Amino acid sequence: MKMLNQQEDEKIPLGIKPHPIASESKETTNDDTEDEDVDDSSIFFDPEIFIDTSYTSSKLEINNTSLEIWALHSASSTDFDLTGQIVWPACRVLALYLSHHPGLIGDRKTLELGAGVGVAGLMAAKFSTNPNNVILTDHNEKVLDVLQKNIDVNFDSAQEKAPLCAMLEWGSDADIFKNKYGTFEVILGADVIFWPDAIPLLFQTVGKLLKKKGGVFLLSYINRNNIYSQLLKTEARSSGLDYLEIDLNESEHFKDIISQEKDAGRTVHLFKFFFPE
């Protein structure tokens, strides 16, 4: 599994937004009265100037399946709420697992939560007999822009069916989303738990959108905090889900990723959640 960088000048037409020029601010006059305190933050400060959208394209090759992925290639350049702009290690883990279990997808309705640039969901769509059955979601509009870009470059919608891209806010939007799209036989999540507070919302959403009979939720993550694994199990039980951890050490396929994360003091995990029969 390797990333092959294309030429550096190959950029997505989404640049860092320029700062509003000062000349656009309102002029004020002094008519022998005291100047009122004016909050210039709305004039001179646009938070979006700090959002880096200078994506580059790379070829991600996983078990003889190639994906073209537009993304940022440094975590230091992304906003805390835009973690979906880069390819995280657990995304590759889940995509690699899917590539070795292509029958898991088949014609099943598949949903990716917190898809980011969409590595796992795109891999699922590649193995789907009907890519229209695959929906990739995120909660951030900026991330959805690059996610749609990645769908477009990996699927020729004019000649073949392509996966869908949709916004989904965990917890609050789950019922609305369910009314529109129904439930799913496969739900994917790759490196979507960076904050403990997100875990209950994740399982509230999975509990509503996962098909009760035969549905499976695959979650890969890098354990950056030992509390995560226990929280996952607790919230899974609260949502009525059983779970099974897949031992990645039993397969040579994950050896390189496991080794890299171990050197950084982290561990890689892949869980399968499901409703009991």
What residue numbers bound the domain in which 265 lies?
82-274
- The answer for 99, left when phi > 0, alpha when psi is -120 to 50, beta otherwise, is alpha
User: Which tokens in the block code for residue 80?
Assistant: 């805390």
Residue 22 lies in a domain: no
The secondary structure of residue 244, as a DSSP letter, is: E
**CA-to-CA distance for 70 and 150, rounded, in angstroms?**
6
Q: What is the pLDDT of residue 25?
A: 40
Q: Which element (helix H / strand E) includes 44?
A: helix 41-44
Residue 221 lies in a domain: yes
User: Which tokens in the block code for residue 220?
Assistant: 């890969």
Residue 227 lies in a domain: yes
Query: The CATH number of the domain where 176 resides is what?
Result: 3.40.50.150
Q: What is the pLDDT of residue 86?
A: 62
Residue 123 lies in a domain: yes
Residue 200 lies in a domain: yes
Dihedral angle of Cα 84, 241, 135, 93, to the nearest 10 degrees: 50
Residue 50 lies in a domain: no
Residue 186 lies in a domain: yes
pLDDT per residue of the chain (277 residues) written in tens, 0 to 9: 444 444 444 444 333 333 333 334 444 444 444 455 545 544 443 444 445 666 788 888 888 898 998 887 655 444 444 445 666 788 989 999 999 999 999 999 999 999 999 999 999 999 999 999 999 999 999 899 999 999 999 998 666 789 999 999 999 899 999 999 999 999 999 989 878 899 999 999 999 999 999 999 999 998 877 888 899 999 999 999 999 999 998 888 888 888 888 877 788 899 999 999 8
User: Which tokens in the block code for residue 150?
Assistant: 């990645």
Count of structural domains, the chain: 1
Residue 56 lies in a domain: no
